[in-house]
Structure 1
Amino acid sequence: MTDDFANSTTLRRIQVLNDFFRATFLGGKVVVTAGVAALPIDVKARVLLQVQSFTSFNVDNDPHGEHDFGSLEVAGEKFFWKIDYYDVLCEFGSEDPASPEKTTRFLTIMLADEY
């Protein structure tokens, strides 16, 4: 197996794991910032639904191709979401984000001005 093939296979696996987690909120932990938590329930619901259905990946918002970041607008506010990779005990960064057995994914949803 060539390094390019292994790298592209690993990247594709990370994309699939991130897309599944983001679309379903299964396979990790979802957190929102204080600013998002303080929003009216209908706005929070719309934000969550837009995060789950996000597919607008491009070289500007996804330079590493991992589908781990997005930006969206709801109710006149700009939001960011970001997936980070931690070890299973959530103490350190994951040594292998392509392995669900070694990784806990964290999806953080925030107002852009909280970044």
Structure 2
Amino acid sequence: MTTIDASPVRELNDRFRMEVDHTLGRWVITSALNAKGPLFVQRACRAVQTFTAFGPENDPFGEHDCATLTLDNEAIIWKIDTYLDAEMKYAADHPEDPKRSYRVMTVMLSSDY
């Protein structure tokens, strides 16, 4: 069985998530989350940026690309999808290469999923 080193993808995902590095992609906030108001959205995004509770149950491949958290008793899901480019038509063949990939972070309420 071949083992794939997830660390390059994880490092890019963490940089994108924690630093909101727009050179790597963009963030999308769902309308349901947005309806909670700007302060809640700001707090939710900050919670995503500072999230560290990764483990085998929520990050089985070690890529730091998805998790859930709770804010004010509201379940929030965030997910990073990696595309070939900003047109977002095709998945990235090389998510470990920032020149050949484009990330989209979706932050949503669990009810959106």
Same fold per superposition (TM over 0.5): yes
Name the SS of the counterpart of 1:65 in structure 2. Answer: coil
Structure 1 segments, 4+ long, off by >2 Å, are none
Unpaired runs of 5+ residues, structure 1, are: none
Matched, 1:36 2:42: no
Q: Distance in 1 between matches of 2:29 and 2:41?
A: 10
| Bigger-Rg structure (1/2) | 1
Q: Percent identity?
A: 33
Higher helix share: 1
Q: Distance in 1 between matches of 2:42 and 2:72?
A: 11
In the alignment of these two chains, the number of paired residues is: 109
Once the two structures are TM-superposed, the CA of residue 76 in structure 1 deviates from its matched residue by 1.5
Unpaired runs of 5+ residues, structure 2, are: none
Matched, 1:99 2:94: no
Aligned ranges 1:1-115 → 2 under 5 Å = 4=3, 7-8=4-5, 11-26=6-21, 27-88=24-85, 89-115=87-113
Q: Distance in 2 between matches of 1:37 and 1:92?
A: 27
In the TM superposition, what whole-angstrom CA distance separates every residue of 1:52-95 from its partner, at most 9, and x where no partner exists?
A: 00111011110111000111111220000000010113211001
Q: Distance in 2 between matches of 1:77 and 1:17?
A: 28
**Superposition CA RMSD, Å:** 1.1
Q: Give the TM-score normalised by structure 2.
A: 0.91
